[in-house]
Amino acid sequence: MTRPPPLPLLVAALLTLAPALASCRRDTRADTDLSSRVLFTASGSFDAQADRRERVGGGRREVSWTTRPPLDAAAVSVQFNGEARGQSWALEITRPRFTARTLAGAQARPVTTPLGEGLRPAPPSKLADTLILPTADGLRVLTRGYVTQRQPELLGAFRAP
């Protein structure tokens, strides 16, 4: 019968292998791009981690995160149509640690709205059918569906230049 290796030898082997084993692990948060993360947040993928979920009225709901926001920001909230969440939502990002331009992409088109300047991500972007508006303390990302239902004065931003 063979004896197992002494404990110090096992510990040394594990310490030697640890960096190699750690490099095999995928960090899904690091390799998910920002626009995907925004879409996952808006679609409900992170609702289980939310600090608050409530009905706002008129078929609308709101989910918000303040302790562990799904985006690199101080707080995040999404207001959506309970019947058509994927098509009609508005995302509020408070004190993001990224810019509107970073989120919109280099090919984004600047637009002028009644609420000020904004950006429309270009068609290859996952956020192509959204409007990104800077606010006093962050950003608002609005889908065309949300604008059509709740803020029709912003529809001009969705027209071709």
- Per-residue pLDDT, averaged over 100-120, amounts to 96
Structure confidence at residue 70 (pLDDT): 97
Residue 13: inside a domain: no
pLDDT, one tens digit per residue, over 9-55 is 544 444 444 444 444 433 334 335 999 999 999 999 999 999 999 99
Mapping DSSP to helix (H, G, I), strand (E, B) and coil, where does residue 105 land?
coil
Quote the CA–CA distance of 40 and 34 in Å, as a whole number: 10
**Which candidate, 142, 106, 99, places its Cα nearest to that of 121?**
106
Residue 27: inside a domain: no
Residue 108: inside a domain: yes
**Which candidate, 133, 136, 138, places its Cα nearest to that of 157?**
133
* Structural domain boundaries, residue 149: 32-158
Exposed, middle or buried by CB within 10 Å (0-12, 13-18, 19+), for 72? middle
Residue 20: inside a domain: no
Residue 89: inside a domain: yes
Structure confidence at residue 110 (pLDDT): 97
Exposed, middle or buried by CB within 10 Å (0-12, 13-18, 19+), for 65? buried
Structure confidence at residue 1 (pLDDT): 59
Residue 64: inside a domain: yes
Residue 93: inside a domain: yes
Predicted TM-score of the model (pTM): 0.79
Residue 106: inside a domain: yes
Q: Count how many domains the chain has.
A: 1
Q: What is the DSSP string of 30-96?
A: HHS-HHHHHHHHHHTTTGGG-SEEEEEETTEEEEEESSS-SSSSSEEEEEEETT-TTTSEEEEEES-
Structure confidence at residue 144 (pLDDT): 96
